[in-house]
Structure 1
Amino acid sequence: MSAVKESVDISRRPEDIYSYMIDPTHLMEWQESVVSVRPLDELPLSVGSRVVVTRRLGSREFPMTMEVTDIDPPYSWHLRGSGGPVRSEVQGTIEPLGDGERSRLTIDLDFEGQGMGKLLVPLVVGPRARKEILRDELKLKELLESGAA
């Protein structure tokens, strides 16, 4: 079962949303906790590609290597985190709405704690992710619909 699952309807075609979402260099534009992104492999991402994403949690920064485990352009992708006290799984799906000029983006997150992360997940990471994903999806919607992205 996922820890956090949220959807947002965006007035853009699935292809437009997918091309923005699958480019990790955009993460800092719409995810408030991301402080840096460093691709370890060439872009565009494909199955097996890895990216180090560093997030700020309170006053600390936590890097996590994310690996693409599945990809189905322009409708879905799956990333799995490794290393660090908290490991995440991210499933993104995009479904066309109506005439295909609008889409529903769903982001499904799950977390696994290792060591001290076993305490962090239920007390800090999960609750914070629930709050942050709502703001992040609204920021993403604003960016994509304004044509800024």
Structure 2
Amino acid sequence: MSDFRETIDVDCTPDEVWTYVIEPSHLPEWQASAVSAERLDEGPIGVGSRVRVTRHVGSREIPMTMEITECDPPHAWGMQGIDGPVRGHVHGEIDPLDDGRRSRVTLELDFEGHGLGKVLVPLVVKPQTRKELPRNEQMLKERLEQQGGGIGAP
């Protein structure tokens, strides 16, 4: 069971949702704590691909490397932090609704602290996530529906 789990319905197809959420450069558009996100490797995104994400954690900006651990388009993805004091474990699912015309997006998050992160996770990261995750999903919904699914690269 994950520490955090949120679900939201979106008026976009699973393919449209997938195209948007799997592109790292979109993270700062719908995740309030994300300052920046950049690919660290070339080629199509898949298991083993890495992304450097810089996040506001409390009053700090903390860079962390995330690695794709699951990639099942357009249904599910997973990412795991592999460095930094706070290492997130993310699982996302996209389920079709209304014969594939709409989608249900579910995000599950867990965190692991290393060094300073052992203090940050319970005192800062979890309270921040509890507040931020529902808003992030709402921003994701708004962004997808405004852009007609966010089709196309940035």
Q: Same fold (TM over 0.5)?
A: yes
Name structure 2 gaps, 5 residues minimum: none
1:51 and 1:146 map into 2 onto residues whose CA distance is 26
Deviation, 1:87, is: 0.6
SS of residue in 2 equivalent to 1:47: coil
Match of 2:44 in 1: 44
Q: Which amino acid aligns with 1:106?
A: T
Matches within 5 A, 1:32-111: 32-111=32-111
2:25 and 2:147 map into 1 onto residues whose CA distance is 17
Match of 1:7 in 2: 7
RMSD: 1.2
Match of 1:123 in 2: 123
Deviation, 1:14, is: 0.3
Q: Give a deviation string over 1:1-36, Cα, whole Å, max 9, x none.
A: 311110100010000000100000111111111111
CA contact (8 A) 1:23 1:44 kept: no
CA contact (8 A) 1:12 1:102 kept: yes
% identity of equivalent residues = 56
2:69 and 2:57 map into 1 onto residues whose CA distance is 25
* Count of aligned pairs between the two proteins: 149
Deviation, 1:84, is: 1.2
1:38 and 1:75 map into 2 onto residues whose CA distance is 23
Deviation, 1:43, is: 4.6
Q: TM (normalized to structure 1)?
A: 0.95
Deviation, 1:65, is: 0.2
1:83 and 1:131 map into 2 onto residues whose CA distance is 24
Q: Give a deviation string over 1:70-115, Cα, whole Å, max 9, x none.
A: 1100000010101111111000100001221111000000001112
CA contact (8 A) 2:58 2:124 kept: no
SS of residue in 2 equivalent to 1:12: coil
Deviation, 1:66, is: 0.3
